[in-house]
Amino acid sequence: MQKIIEGFLKFQTDVFPSRSDLFKSLAGGQSPKVLFVTCSDSRVVPELLTQQEPGDLFVIRNAGNIVPSYGPEPGGVSATVEYAVSVLKVSDIVICGHSNCGAMAAISSCQCLDHLPAVAHWLRYSDAAKAIIASQEFDSPQAKADALVRENVIAQLANIKTHPSVALALSQRKLNLHGWVYDIEQGAIDALDGKTMAFVPLAANPEVRAS
């Protein structure tokens, strides 16, 4: 904790004064244009890898960058999606997976999660991706895990479309969906091309989107 406290004190004395106008403008409200759904993994920092300022991204983070399908008992993720789309009026939603994801590795290797019942239950929302991967052959466990990361992004994009607020905004052409996979080691992002359903380098295809 000492390192974290020291970091805050540095922010307060060295960073905040030079950015005080920005924080003053944000004090009364927010108007982000993008909902960014990604993994809780400490190596993935949305504002850093997209070079965005405070107030630019509305972020959901959880194990496996999962968005459960809309149901009769919507949870925190559903409430946050609804607020982002219906109240904040975001124009884009990004679902971003990443390389070497522990959640996806656990699924692809059929790791026993009996000692982590809450985790096991949560990862069931990736069952569609798991079923697709299980029907295919891979050269190595790593290749299988990498493929699952991508299929999981596709599965979560399908899940988020079941949310009424998202379905309405999509029908009105007020919302775009994006599926990304961030490579931690390479500092690169592959994006889902909604027309071909293939992941392509974002740097070479900056206009590509999932829908």
Question: Is residue 192 within 8 Å of residue 157, measured between CB atoms?
Answer: yes
CA–CA dist 112, 14 (Å, integer): 47
pLDDT at 145 over 90: yes
pLDDT at 72 over 90: no
pLDDT at 180 over 90: yes
CA–CA dist 175, 93 (Å, integer): 8
CA–CA dist 167, 69 (Å, integer): 12
Non-local CB neighbours of 97 within 8 Å, separated by 6+ positions = 38, 39, 65, 104, 149, 150, 152, 153, 180, 181, 182
CA–CA dist 175, 195 (Å, integer): 17
| 92-98 and 57-62 strand pairing | unpaired
- Helix locations, 51-140, DSSP H: 76-82, 102-108, 117-123, 127-134
| Assigned token pair, 182 | 């961030």
Nearest-5° angle of CA 28, CA 42, CA 14?
50
pLDDT at 165 over 90: yes
Q: How many CB atoms lie within 10 A of CB 121?
A: 10
Catalytic sites, residue numbers: 39, 41, 43, 98, 101
DSSP state of 147: H
pLDDT value, residue 93: 98
The per-residue pLDDT for range 2-61, each reduced to its tens digit, is 999 999 999 999 999 999 999 999 999 999 999 999 999 999 999 999 999 999 999 999
| Assigned token pair, 189 | 């992002």
Residue 73: pLDDT band (50, 70, 90) is confident
pLDDT value, residue 191: 98
Could you list the beta-strand ranges (E) of the chain: 34-39, 57-62, 92-98, 176-183, 188-193, 198-201
Amino acid at the residue 79: A
Residue 110: pLDDT band (50, 70, 90) is very high
pLDDT value, residue 99: 97
Instruction: Kindly state the average pLDDT of the residues 105-121.
Output: 95
CA–CA dist 102, 198 (Å, integer): 23
pLDDT at 113 over 90: yes
Question: Is residue 170 within 8 Å of residue 158, measured between CB atoms?
Answer: no
CA–CA dist 35, 13 (Å, integer): 30
pLDDT value, residue 123: 96
Domain 31-201 architecture: 3-Layer(aba) Sandwich (3.40)
Residue 140: pLDDT band (50, 70, 90) is very high
